[in-house]
Structure 1
Amino acid sequence: MTPLIFDIKRYAINDGPGIRIALYFKGCPLRCAWCHNPESQLPKTQKLYTASKCIGAQECIEVCPEDALKLTPDGIVTDYEKCTLCGLCADACPTKAIEMSGKLYDVSELMQLIERERIHIDHSDGGVTFSGGEPLMFPGFLVEMLRACGEKGLHRAVDTCGHVSAKTLLEVAQHTDLFLYDLKLMDPVQHKKWTGKDNTLILENLVKLAESGAAINIRVPFIRNVNTSEKEVTKMAKFIATLPGGTPLVSILPYHNIAAHKYDKLGSEYDEFEMAESTDEDIEQAESVFKSFGIETEVGG
């Protein structure tokens, strides 16, 4: 199955070592309440609309073959009963108030894009990062891309939530230089509350991945009222400290409500529930707990 790519980020510096190009796959098994890329969740093309950019030019209405758009006092409204997501309205929009999220590429097209960034990648010991969404939802295509990058001597990182089959994960590991592995919560009930799935498979896979000898950077989205308590961080630290093959680096990723506008673009509301940004004290406490277990941490990354 060929995935849709919803973003290609050049000069990426927070998705593995050096300067990288990051490819974002569309589709994810989780529904994290804090998701910063809501357009990544569904493995299909979606239309995004930014009302503040709309100037009422109406070119989009004129080109629509299904007569699915109309101008209202609130801006352009799409009738999704009629809309076929052909993208002609996005192409016609002079201010890019309408955008299409999700584009098909073949391996050769993506490799051409990657090669254009080669000078920055090579000079910084960077590479290519496969993110999402969840790239491991598309193992055949992902492995093909990883092999192609490996043949070019490119460093390969895979960003994963870990909610995939162990067989798929370990197959991908044979072609991956670094895993960016999300660890959100230790309690399975709370994990399901906040992400829609419990974490049994995720934790089991992390152990198996560590046993395989894979290089792992654990990344913790750090969210007050979700996982910043000393009790929760201690549970994480105890688990990470027992992983086979050495203790991985832990990146603490402070939560920021920076993606609410994306939900607006998709026509949905962003509900923060009781989520809040972590404080400096929360982060310092977490660093202290991880250090007490001999775990190196960084903030960001």
Structure 2
Amino acid sequence: MEGIVYNIQRMSTKDGPGLRTTVFLKGCPLHCPWCSNPESQSFKPQLLVFSNLCVGCGACEKTCPNGAVIRTGNTFNRDRAICTDCGACVEVCPSQAREMSGMRMTVAEVMQVVDSDSIFYSNSGGGVTFGGGEPTAAGDFLVALIDACRSRGYHTCLDTCGVCEPVRFRKIMEKIELFLFDCKHMDPVEHKRLTGLDNTLILHNLHNLFEAGKELRIRVPLMPGINDTDENIGAMAEFLHRHGCFAVDVLPCHTFGFNKYRALNLSPPELLPYKPEELEAALARFRRHGLRVTIAK
């Protein structure tokens, strides 16, 4: 069984308890305008071109089988209408200005990396986290990876936006020990305008997690003027309080990864990070609505 993995981050301390190996599966049904990993959204391997790293050697132009490389001043970019994301140019680029995001891997190949870090899991209380994109979109590939981890006794964690068909989500829910669950916006119309889908399915799956008593942490990617209003935070608090939840992890707006948009020939998000006083005012709104706030790092 194969799936598309776009990164495996080893020795992670941000994706659950202890030292972890985080497996990032490519593809996401949402298109959040603040996404700091735009290369995670497509379900196919993609070529990224970082023009600022190009040394103008022209090796890519000589190698490209489709004639998709174009010169822009003293650097080489690509014609998106012709480029097939084959990755041939990546192999010859001496400055790492070209990078492929996403490669097909078998369960055995992923687990070879995971197993090599197993000593750190037992010594730190860590384990394996599956992220994305949206990892549940990988379907049976994700389930097979989870089963392989469970058979070895590894702690499992899922970083999810909750967009998953309920039957599949329940199947995954039974196997995962900790959920990191994104809450982006409580209004279904606004959620659809921002991400492409409303939040009906998301809240349904989150409700089922609470009902099943699963261990989970609510994560809120906080965007100035988008989802940090008193109205939205109040609605979120009301929903969470009904389920006995009184704490959230906030991920404040940042510009890390925005250079990837240019590398994909996309316009970066028009967002500015919070000033300290602006962030404190937003966090105060959570506290005013009875939610303890932790800044996720």
Please give the range of the TM-score, normalised by the shorter of the 2 chains: over 0.9
User: Counterpart of 1:128 in structure 2: which amino acid?
Assistant: V
Offset at residue 116 of structure 1 (A): 1.5
Cα distance between partner residues in 2 of 1:190 and 1:33: 13
The unaligned stretches of length 5 or more in structure 1 are: none
Identity of aligned residues (%): 38
Structure 1 residues 45-56: aligned runs within 5 Å:
45-56=45-56
SS at match of 2:159: strand
1:43 corresponds to: 43
Residues 1:217 and 2:217 are matched in the alignment = yes
Q: Is 2:173 the counterpart of 1:192? A: no
Report the CA distance between 1:100 and its aligned residue: 0.8
Q: Distance in 1 between matches of 2:188 and 2:95?
A: 45
What amino acid is aligned across from residue 224 of structure 1 in structure 2? P
Letter in 2 for 1:108: A
Report SS of the residue matched to 1:277: coil
**More displaced stretch, 181-190 vs 224-233:** 224-233
Give, in whole Å, the separation in 1 of the partners of 2:133 and 2:55.
Answer: 32
Q: List alignment gaps of at least 5 residues for structure 2.
A: none
Q: Within 2, Cα distance between the matches of 1:189 and 1:224?
A: 18
Aligned twin of 1:285: 284
3-state secondary structure, aligned to 1:36: coil
Determine helix, strand or coil for the equivalent of 2:223. Answer: strand
Q: In the alignment, which residue of structure 1 is the partner of 2:59?
A: 59
Q: Which residue of 2 aligns with 1:108?
A: 108
Structure-2 change in CA distance of 1:170 and 1:3 (3 Å): same
Secondary structure of the corresponding residue to residue 205 of structure 2: helix
Instruction: Read off the aligned partner of 2:287 and give its amino acid letter.
Output: S
C-alpha contact (below 8 Å) 1:233/1:289 kept by paired residues: no
Aligned pairs, number: 295
Q: Determine helix, strand or coil for the equivalent of 1:105.
A: strand
- CA offsets, 1:220-270, max 9 Å, x none? 011110121222211111100112xx4274211111122221101101111
Q: Alpha-carbon deviations, 1:41-84, whole Å to 9, x = none?
A: 11001110011100011111222223322333162132344433
Partners of 1:128 and 1:52 in 2: CA distance: 34
Alignment correspondent of 2:251: 253
- What's the offset of the Cα at 1:16? 0.9
The residue type equivalent to 1:239 in the other structure is F
Distance 2:155 2:246 in 1: 18
Q: Distance in 1 between matches of 2:257 and 2:93?
A: 23
C-alpha separation in 2, matches of 1:167 and 1:227: 29
**Are positions 1:94 and 2:122 aligned together?**
no
Which deviates the most, 212-221 or 40-49?
212-221
**Aligned: 1:7 with 2:4:** no
Structure 2 Cα separation of the partners of residues 237 and 13 of structure 1:
27
2:160 is matched with which residue?
160
Cα pair distance change 1:229/1:70, threshold 3 Å:
closer
Contact 2:127 2:156 in 1 (8 A): yes
User: What is the aligned partner in structure 1 of residue 205 from structure 2?
Assistant: 205
Please report the TM-score for the alignment, with normalisation by the length of structure 1: 0.92
Distance 1:83 1:194 in 2: 29
Deviates more, 1:249-258 or 1:278-287: 278-287
Look up the match of 1:264.
262
TM-score when normalising by structure 2 = 0.93
Q: Which amino acid aligns with 2:266?
A: S
Taking the aligned partners of 2:196 and 2:25, their CA distance within structure 1 comes to: 20
Q: Report SS of the residue matched to 1:224.
A: coil
Q: Is the 8 A contact 2:56 2:75 kept in 1?
A: yes
What secondary structure is seen at the aligned counterpart in 1 of 2:35? Answer: coil
CA distance in 1, matches of 2:192, 2:85: 32
Q: Shift in Å at residue 209 of structure 1?
A: 1.9
Question: Paired residue for 1:300?
Answer: 296
CA shift for structure 1 position 3: 2.8
Equivalent AA in structure 1 for residue 283 of structure 2: E
Aligned-CA RMSD value: 1.8
Q: Is the 8 Å Cα contact of residues 237 and 289 (structure 1) preserved in structure 2?
A: no
One-letter code of the match for 1:297?
V
